[in-house]
Amino acid sequence: MKTEARYYVDGLCIKDRDGRTVILRGCNLGGDSKIPFTPAGNPLSYDVSFSGRPFPIEEADEHFSRLARWGFLFLRLVITWEAVEHAGPGIYDEEYLSYLREILKKAETYGISVCVDPHQDAWSRWTGGDGAPGWTLEAVGFDLGNIAVSGAAFTTVSEGSSYKMMSWPLNYLRYANATMWTLFFGGSTYAPSMLVEGVPVQEWLQDHFIGAMKHTARRLKDCAAVAGFGTLNEPHPGFIGLESLDAHQRVTAPEGLVPTAFEAIASASGFPQKIRYVKLGGKITVPHSYVLNPAGVPLFRNGFECPWKSAGVWKVEDGKPVVVRDAHFSCRDFGEEHLKPFQMRFIEAVSKKHEYYLFFVEGVPMGMRSRWTAEDRIRSDGTPLSIVEAFHWYDAPTLLFKKWRPWLAVDGETARLSIGPGAAARSAREQLDRLAGYPRGEGMPAMLGEFGTPFDLDRGASYRTGSYAAQEEALGCWYDAIDASLLHSTLWTYAASNTHEKGDGWNTEDLSIYSSTTKDGRGVRGFSRPYALAVSGDLVRMSFDRHKRIFELEWAAVDGVTEVFVPTLWYPEGWRACFEGENAELEELPDDQRLLVRVRGIGADGGTAVVRVIPSPDGE
């Protein structure tokens, strides 16, 4: 089948315009695109520019050529809502969008395609993460200057030297994040009388977000590198789904202060709250002298109050905050009732003039997700949609504690602990098979949109020794599982401004596979490896033995050209390919890091084909 689309969905497969089954493999570009390029220093200001993220245009050839050399030909291009619409509602940064067009035109020349990823973490830079413009917070009554002091969120600036690694997810439990996400996904349900500019708050927020991404798609329409759009990175339910306001839930950080939902709500309105400290492996009660918002500073500007107070969730009685509706935010299914309607609205809006795009949907990491029926994947005009579920997965002990231990694994979804030789490898395979099985069970492809390892493992040991052996072993283990599951994948992350001293430049993270300190890749043998770029037929099996350096690919072949990426870094002495079957012609192109397998006259019923790549004997 031939089509105008660069890629399209066919059942569980993604196919190219020649009808070949493809494996999309690459990385996220880039981790530093979460923050402005100018001015330097990540200032909390509307007067910023993201032009220069992921890298200045004059550096594009250097970075794209490196990524292509590694075999990373599909990139998840990180942009933020703020980057597009930072100056105010409806004011788009056309200079930034022109810059993006230039970057994408460069990507085309290297055979690289992208998924545009509207990224967020913890709502915005003002609330300890990235994503939404600051004016979204002001629109619901927040005083931006009081966010940190009221305890509504914390940042690296407000915490200073006490900021703990991987603590930023705890911001989802603070008031600012929980409230904004609840209003974004469920304002019409949980604060139905709240209006912004005369429009229901949920509709107002979603209109502006979708409008910004629709305008971005319009500006990038002629960029052949754009294969599709994500709907929203790592959506979060906020308070939605909590059965009680008196609960500590959804803790995804190694340690830190954790208010209950009502403690977060009360403190934001100027009522100091005693809160608790959580540490993985046990809970610790903080001395009673510790109080959230001890000065009693209200978050809200004059003329505004907490939307949950206005909605009757709580009230002040005898000078104290008291709960009125403890189960106000309960719901049966966040994914179906709130997330999916937004995703469908986004896809419908962006696909009206971009019908060939792939759309990548996500659920809450290791949590609630939307379920997609065959009917859901049809536009209102009756034409099919190409939807891919792009779930995220990280090895928890490696990410949270910055230590790689192949004998230890924790299942991020079930919390099951595995200990023993090869525990990490077995657990990774089981987890990825299960996570991919959810969308595949609904008849749609699965992609691992984020995974990765910190490069400052063991307190930056690699920077002292120059060895990335631990990271390479971890990444190799995970790519073995990815190959076994025949998953599409984009590794987190490539940050062009990364340094060994400052990491990725965002919330103390340091996961970039490139560092400007050395002007080169890090742990490259962990992620650059042979894989099937495009298969004429259906994939059956793919594997790479990192010790013997033997790659095997099996597919149910039909006539056509199968293309394999073979990186020279694994075969400095050269490589050879051998084919099991008939009617095939092999073309080895070591200078292009490619193997082509041309199958002809195999018959209408097809047949099983196997190709192996092995080190060339005697360097021939």
pLDDT of residue 277: 86
Q: Is the predicted pLDDT of residue 4 greater than 60, yes or no?
A: yes
pLDDT of residue 288: 64
User: pLDDT tens for residues 83-127?
Assistant: 999 999 999 999 999 999 999 999 999 999 999 999 999 999 999
Q: What is the CA radius of gyration of the chain?
A: 25
User: pLDDT tens for residues 246-269?
Assistant: 986 677 788 888 999 999 999 999
Q: What distance in Å separates the CA atoms of residue 367 and residue 236, rounded to the nearest whole number?
A: 9
pLDDT of residue 2: 46
Confidence category of residue 620, pLDDT binned at 50, 70, 90: low
User: pLDDT tens for residues 170-198?
Assistant: 999 999 999 999 999 999 999 999 999 99
Q: What distance in Å separates the CA atoms of residue 598 and residue 595, rounded to the nearest whole number?
A: 10
pLDDT of residue 283: 62
pLDDT of residue 281: 62
Of 165, 172, 152, 176, the residue nearest 255 (C-alpha): 165
Q: Which domains does the chain have, with CATH numbers?
A: 7-131+178-183+195-237+334-396+429-527 (3.20.20.80), 533-619 (2.60.40.1180)
User: pLDDT tens for residues 224-234?
Assistant: 999 999 999 99
Go through the chain and tell me how many residues it has.
620
pLDDT of residue 290: 85
Distances (CA, A) of 283 to 120, 256, 396: 29, 10, 18
Q: What distance in Å separates the CA atoms of residue 61 and residue 511, rounded to the nearest whole number?
A: 22
Of 93, 78, 83, 42, the residue nearest 495 (C-alpha): 78
Looking at 224-233, 313-322, 371-380, 476-485, which range is the least confident one? 371-380
pLDDT of residue 193: 98
User: pLDDT tens for residues 18-77?
Assistant: 999 999 999 999 999 999 999 999 999 999 999 999 999 999 999 999 999 999 999 999
Dihedral of the alpha carbons of 232, 386, 222, 130, in degrees to the nearest 10: 10
Rounded to 5 degrees, φ, ψ at 57 are -60, -30
- Side-by-side strand order, sheet with 575-580: 537-545, 550-557, 607-615, 575-580
User: pLDDT tens for residues 526-556?
Assistant: 999 999 999 999 999 999 999 999 999 999 9
Q: Environment class of residue 614 by beta-carbon count within 10 Å: exposed (0-12), middle (13-18) or buried (19+)?
A: middle
Task: Give the tokens for residue 135.
Answer: 């004016």
pLDDT of residue 1: 44
pLDDT of residue 280: 72
DSSP 244-275: -SS------SSEEEE--HHHHHHHHTT--B--
Of 319, 261, 334, 316, the residue nearest 292 (C-alpha): 261
Number of neighbouring beta carbons within 10 Å of residue 66: 18
> Please, are residues 17 and 5 in contact by the beta-carbon 8 Å criterion?
yes
Rounded to 5 degrees, φ, ψ at 426 are -65, -45
User: pLDDT tens for residues 383-425?
Assistant: 899 999 999 999 999 999 999 999 999 998 998 999 999 999 9
Cis amide prior to 493 (ω within 30 degrees): yes
Q: What distance in Å separates the CA atoms of residue 216 and residue 218, rounded to the nearest whole number?
A: 5
